[in-house]
Amino acid sequence: MAESANRIYAIKTTAKQERTVADNIEKVTREQKDIHVVAVMVPEELKGYVLVESPDSIARIEQLVELIPPHARAVVQGSTALSEVEHFLVPKKAVTGITEGTIVEIIAGPFKSEKAVVKRVDTGKEEITVELYESMIPIPITVRGDSVRVVERSDEMS
Per residue in 45-88, pLDDT (tens digit) is 889 999 999 999 999 999 999 998 889 999 998 888 777 888 88
Per residue in 83-110, pLDDT (tens digit) is 788 888 777 777 777 888 889 999 988 8
The domains of the chain, with CATH numbers, are 3-89 (3.30.70.940), 103-156 (2.30.30.30)
The whole-number pLDDT of residue 154 equals 65
Which candidate, 152, 114, 119, places its Cα nearest to that of 132? 114
DSSP 52-121: EEESS-HHHHHHHHHHSTTTEEEEPSS-B-GGGTGGGGSPPPTTTT--TT-EEEE-SSTTTT-EEEEEEE
pTM: 0.61
116 vs 89, more confident = 116
Is residue 111 predicted with pLDDT exceeding 60? Answer: yes
